[in-house]
Amino acid sequence: MQFKEIIGQERVKQQLVQTVKENRISHAQLFLSPAGSGALPLAIAYAQYINCLNKGENDSCGECSSCRKYERLIHPDLHFSYPFFASASVKTAVDVLEEWRGMLMHDPYFDMDIWRSKLDAANKQANINIAECHDIIKKLSYKAFEAETKVLIMWLPEYLDKAGNALLKLIEEPPANTLFILIAQSQDQILTTILSRTQIVKIPKLSSEEVTGYLLNASGLTEHQAIDYSFLADGNLIEAKALAADTQSDSSGTFTAWLRMGFGNKVPDLIDFTDEAAKWGRENQKNFLKYGVNYLRECCLILSGAEELVKLPPLTFETAKKLSTHVLTLPMAEAIIGELEKAHYHIERNANPKILFLDVSLQLVKIIKFKTLPAGTQYIYN
């Protein structure tokens, strides 16, 4: 995998390349990033660049023998460790290496839920057990077969638990030319003894523009769809890809039209909307409600005087600003958010969508038109 194949993260890419050029590669690094930001593909591209036989200015060549093996994830000096579900036939991560390689080759952007779906998980708990730690120690005690640097990439060290203490000495004093890269999402869940022995590389979430650009190039989405899904995903490319599989379009226009129907007390239109929403399917209904919650939270920022923090695209922002100025108040926005969150909860539990959306529509009329707030959302201002 090359840096050019990875979406966004230009600053981090340059930082990693610079460590190689200046020969200051820390032997144990912790890539800390939110889900869907690309930390795992970044780590693989970094390792490939380090061991490339014909390095370019900003990327590996992709053509030398080392790069070709890295592209297929079969380089003998590239090792992986990751959570798995131990059983009589699966004792260490190597026992599910083919599934791991297949997943990475198909799409390097995935999370624990997707990985779990590829394995025979049953009701077992995923972890990186003591047998896996001993296998890591054994593998890294050998001399490098071909590359100058042996690399171990550990995905989600949060699953190490106390077994990780077996690796402390190896991480602190590794064999010559050995690189540890740990890919984590939660610093608080990593053993402090391991955390203190690593150099942290913080990888930010992707920008909305980067996710939107990817969706427009990789999926047959309209610009409105790509912008809506990017907003919903909030920098998580895994979630953005999942949303791109849906058929719901222009959530912004549909949601603001729904609010206007409520403000105008247009009950026949609300009934028509309810009939249409009931046909969307459960996942599209959940995504629409989630979009509405996020949209109204942005409106709350506008109402609170924090417009500079709003992440809405320009046209949607102007609409939200008009709604916030002429229609909504902060208590009203928060009350509607509460109704939408309850509706999302009930949709997940197979509520009748026609009854549910009609009920929420009538609640919109009560809140926006008649300014009748549910109990618990009244405020006393100074």
The CA–CA distances, whole Å, from 267 to 4, 276, 280, 354, 366 equal 53, 14, 20, 14, 12
Q: Does residue 231 or residue 31 have the better pLDDT?
A: 31
pLDDT given for residue 232 in this prediction: 74
b (16+ CB within 10 A) / e for 123-155: eeebbbbeebbebbeeebeeebeebebbbbbbb
- Per DSSP, the chain holds a count of helices (H) and strands (E) of 17, 5
Mean per-residue pLDDT, 180-208: 88
Domain boundaries, the chain: 1-203, 247-367
Number of other residues whose CB lies within 10 A of the CB of residue 54 = 11
User: Which tens digit of pLDDT belongs to each residue from 135-158?
Assistant: 999 998 888 888 888 999 999 988
The percent of residues in the chain predicted with pLDDT above 70, rounded, is: 96
DSSP 193-223: HHHTTSEEEE-PPPPHHHHHHHHHHHS---H
pLDDT given for residue 144 in this prediction: 86
Number of other residues whose CB lies within 10 A of the CB of residue 104 = 18
Q: Dihedral (C-alpha) 274, 275, 276, 281: value to the nearest 10 degrees?
A: 90
| pLDDT reading at 225 higher than 60 | yes
Q: Does residue 123 or residue 371 have the better pLDDT?
A: 371
User: Which tens digit of pLDDT belongs to each residue from 273-287?
Assistant: 999 999 888 877 887
User: For the chain, how big is the Rg over CA atoms in Å?
Assistant: 25
pLDDT given for residue 376 in this prediction: 61
| pLDDT reading at 380 higher than 60 | no
Residue for token pair 């402390």 = 168
DSSP 261-295: HHHTT-HHHHHHHHHHHTTS-HHHHHHHHHHHHHH
User: Which tens digit of pLDDT belongs to each residue from 92-131?
Assistant: 889 989 999 999 988 889 888 788 878 877 667 788 889 9
Mean per-residue pLDDT, 178-183: 92
- Among 49-63, 76-90, 149-163, 240-254, the minimum mean pLDDT is found in 240-254
According to DSSP, the residues that pair with 153 across neighbouring strands are 80, 181
Helices (H), 1-38: 10-21
- Among 110-124, 187-201, 324-338, the minimum mean pLDDT is found in 110-124
pLDDT given for residue 116 in this prediction: 83
| pLDDT reading at 61 higher than 70 | yes
pLDDT given for residue 247 in this prediction: 46
The whole-model pTM stands at 0.71
The SS3 of residue 259 is helix
The SS3 of residue 382 is coil
CATH-assigned architecture of domain 247-367: Up-down Bundle (1.20)
- Per-residue confidence at 73, pLDDT binned at 50, 70, 90? very high
pLDDT given for residue 382 in this prediction: 40
| pLDDT reading at 31 higher than 70 | yes
| pLDDT reading at 379 higher than 70 | no
| pLDDT reading at 377 higher than 60 | no
Mean per-residue pLDDT, 175-199: 88
> How far is 268 from 263, CA to CA, in rounded Å?
13
User: Which tens digit of pLDDT belongs to each residue from 199-214?
Assistant: 999 999 988 888 888 8
What are the phi and psi torsion angles at 57 (to 5°)?
-65, -40
Q: Which of 247, 1, 248, 227 is nearest to 109 (CA)?
A: 1
Bridging pattern class, strands 178-184 and 28-32 = parallel
> How far is 201 from 196, CA to CA, in rounded Å?
13
Residue for token pair 């297929």 = 72
- Per-residue confidence at 224, pLDDT binned at 50, 70, 90? confident
Mean pLDDT score across all residues of the chain? 87
CATH of 1-203, one of 3.40.50.80, 3.30.450.90, 3.40.50.300, 3.30.70.20: 3.40.50.300
